[in-house]
Structure 1
């Protein structure tokens, strides 16, 4: 009797390991609540029933009514390929939350049983975690670029400011020759003033000579 019990348990375990299995969604899957449809994939064996129900369940309170039937009569498909089905949420957008699961249920109402169950996954407004990671990496890269270029911009601004200051200083220094020119002009004016008495004296001498000639 004991041997028969062990044999039955072994056959039951073998049947479970060879039964239909859900491949997607898995524990790393994040569905986007705004997407109208999602894809479910599975593998089957020849001993699986010809069809089953696909249901969405949640034990964490994120579904008002759990389970929610997504497909009432899904063909099991071939045992040598990965089968898939596209599902939509009956009332529009998918509910958001954690710990969702997909159940494959027996179509036999007299013996309702779970044929397969997915790992728990999340449904968020953001969608797939890989997309979020990529966005985060892009944001980090943009931030790094901004941080890297900022000192360069400041340096360029400082260089430009220094050049402007230098140019202004040069202009101020350039006024010195003009000042020299003014001094030179002033000197020339002085020379002119110095030579004016000589001209007056010459004019006086000429006038005296003219008077003498007339006499």
Structure 2
């Protein structure tokens, strides 16, 4: 009876060709946010499956975690969000593709064993250095603008001195008319002498 069951299960496994390519023994997951899941398939594979995280060591993972349901198998990649309690850490994890949440014993594919490690990401320091660079750039842009503004304010000064230098020729322009009047007075005085 066991022999017949084993043959039946091997026949079912060979009928499907889903193959998990990542995570793998060479490249596992970390505890930092969503993780990448990739796979291969053939046209005879079911279009959808459910993703389950499992570990034989129940001290690390007490119960299997459902990571995604009704996944579109044709996409060949998926960003898997962490479980509600966050990613567990440790060794010998596996990802199973199962038929659905009610048929977890129908395994369509299984990854090789992989590790989930603590993340050592330090993105905050990179952001702060970038913002300080931006501030410096803004400061340098402002400086030339202020300098240009001060030059624009000082430029009218020569024109005011030009106006003051043009004033004396205006006052000298009244001298010829005064000379003409003096000549006319002297001419009338001479005529008066002749007529007398």
| TM score, norm. by length of structure 2 | 0.51
Partner of 2:33: 36
**Residue among 19, 25, 39 paired with 1:27:** 25
Q: What is the RMSD of the two structures over their aligned residues, measured on CA atoms? A: 2.8
* Aligned-residue offset at 1:30: 2.7
Match of 2:116 among 123, 127, 130: 123
Q: Which protein has the larger Cα radius of gyration, Structure 1 or Structure 2? A: 1
Residues 110 and 87 (structure 1), Cα distance of their counterparts in 2 relative to 1, 3 Å cut:
closer
Q: How far apart, CA to CA, are the structure 1 residues paired with 2:33 and 2:119?
A: 14
- Equivalent of residue 103 in structure 1, options 89, 93, 96: 96
In 1, Cα distance between equivalents of 2:43 and 2:51 = 19
Change (3 A) 1:123 1:108: closer
Q: 2:98, 2:104 within 8 Å by CA — same for their partners in 1?
A: no
Cα 1:20–1:124 change in 2 (3 A) is: same
Cα distance in 1 for partners of 2:86, 2:104 equals: 32
Q: Secondary structure at the match of 2:66?
A: strand
Offset at residue 125 of structure 1 (A): 1.2
1:93 aligns with 2:86: yes
Matched, 1:72 2:65: no
**1:98/1:108 Cα in 2 relative to 1: closer, same or farther (>3 Å)?**
closer
Structure 1 unaligned regions, length at least 5? 128-215
| Pairing of 1:57-206 with structure 2 (within 5 A) | 57-60=54-57, 61-64=59-62, 66-77=63-74, 83-107=76-100, 109=102, 112-126=105-119
2:14 corresponds to: 16
Q: Which runs of 4+ in 1 moved over 6 A?
A: none
Partner of 1:175: none
TM-score by length of 1: 0.47
CA distance in 1, matches of 2:44, 2:80: 25
